[in-house]
Copies of this chain bind each other. A is one copy, B any other.
């Protein structure tokens, strides 16, 4: 409701001296990725930006409003970015699925932020809601890929869910500083996921 300053097409219409919401947002992203939500504090941000903390309250109602803005920003970018990229690789749903898994598990820019948000969601209701929406869209995309790859619709939902859970799990582990899952393990998951529906193979 209070977003307006962000849509400056060129960002320096008037005087270059004063800050806008975008400047605070960027600083907040850095802080979030570095040390989680608790790291996003008004006073340190203010001194980083070279203003007093009182100035912050011109752009945002309070700290909660800043955090809200971070979530909005994330939702806008998180879903579309991945899906567009994956769709661009190939028409083959199997290739797309493989690309999705490999891409999302190997990016080294966003994961800190993605993670901070996920951890944040464990504590905060608003973050939780955003997460759920993004998760749902991503999982639906995986399900669509599986169905396009010939997996039975009935079993595709379960498998899409499992694949997405594993991705969430991977993000969680990597965020903890844990080792990344090997490509071999991901390939095994893809093999299982794209395979026939029951332990004993069905006839095509």
Binding site for B on A (CB under 8 A): 35-36, 38-39, 115-116, 118-123, 125, 127-128, 131-132, 135, 155, 157-159, 161-162, 164-170, 172-173, 175-178, 181-182, 184-185, 187-189, 191-196, 198-201
Give the interface SS of chain A, mostly helix, strand, loop or mixed.
Answer: helix
Q: By the criterion CB–CB under 8 Å, are B128 and A177 in contact?
A: yes
Q: How far is the CA of A181 from the CA of B120 in the complex (A)?
A: 21
A131 nearest CB neighbor, chain B only: B176
Across-interface contacts of A116 in B (CB, < 8 A): 122-123
Across-interface contacts of A198 in B (CB, < 8 A): 191, 195
Q: By the criterion CB–CB under 8 Å, are A166 and B176 in contact?
A: no
Q: How far is the CA of A10 from the CA of B198 in the complex (A)?
A: 54
Across-interface contacts of A131 in B (CB, < 8 A): 176, 178
A-B contact pairs, 10 of them (CB 8 A): A38-B38, A131-B178, A158-B185, A159-B192, A165-B166, A165-B173, A166-B166, A192-B192, A192-B195, A199-B201
Contacts A118-B172, A122-B118 given; indicate if A165 touches B181 (C-beta within 8 A): yes
